[in-house]
Amino acid sequence: MKNFSYLLTDEKSGEAIVIDSGWETRPIAKAAEEAGARVKFVVATHGHFDHVETIRDLASELGAKVVAHELSEIHPDLRVKDGDELQLGSQRVRVIYTPGHTEDSICLFDGVDLFTGDTLFIGNCGRTDLPGGSTRKLFRSLHDVIMKLPPSTIIYPGHDYGEVASRRLGDEERLNPTLLVKTLNEFAGVE
């Protein structure tokens, strides 16, 4: 399913978070070990199995806490809501609530990089036809929340579905059909 998992590390303290565990724990644990990272949190961007299948195993292996939105059904160690921050040394990672793909969808923003899970892909957005999905909510999350971030923000999606692995939000705004539309009706037609 071409899932991405991310290891975000504060270089000074070595504290880190893993964003989405995906299917295999060993490559993530190995990357953390090679980086000398102490993983504090393993965060679920949403509760779909392809993002959380191994989350409890990975957190246990790394001695980390499982983190998910307060509406998640995965039973995390720490529940978060919009605006909460995860502290990594001197760095803070802000939780941005972005429902639509699922009711528990979140993005994580470190001030430069935005980890979007299945809310926003390179060249597209998450689907809304699965249980908990909402076209109206996803449109609002994309246009009223994500598009308010600086155009220099780098988008890191939850899947490798695009022509590149990441892209500046300003470029995505010019190239992504789901961001080019300006009304909910138009969005429903391209989604």
Taking only the tens of pLDDT, the chain with its 191 residues reads: 688 999 999 999 999 999 999 888 999 999 999 999 999 999 999 998 888 999 999 999 999 999 999 999 999 999 999 999 999 999 999 999 999 999 999 999 999 999 999 999 999 999 999 989 999 999 999 999 999 999 999 999 999 888 899 999 999 999 999 999 999 999 988 76
| Number of domains composing the chain | 1
Which secondary structure element, helix H or strand E, spans residue 91, and what is its range?
strand 91-97
Kindly state whether residue 73 falls inside one of the protein's structural domains. yes
Kindly state whether residue 1 falls inside one of the protein's structural domains. no
Kindly state whether residue 169 falls inside one of the protein's structural domains. yes
Kindly state whether residue 58 falls inside one of the protein's structural domains. yes
Contact 133, 185 (CB under 8 A): no
**Which residue's structure tokens are 């299945």?**
118
* Structural domain containing residue 108: 6-190
**Per-residue model confidence (pLDDT) at position 2:** 83
Kindly state whether residue 27 falls inside one of the protein's structural domains. yes
**Paired tokens of 66:** 């499982």
**Per-residue model confidence (pLDDT) at position 161:** 85
CATH of the domain at 166: 3.60.15.10
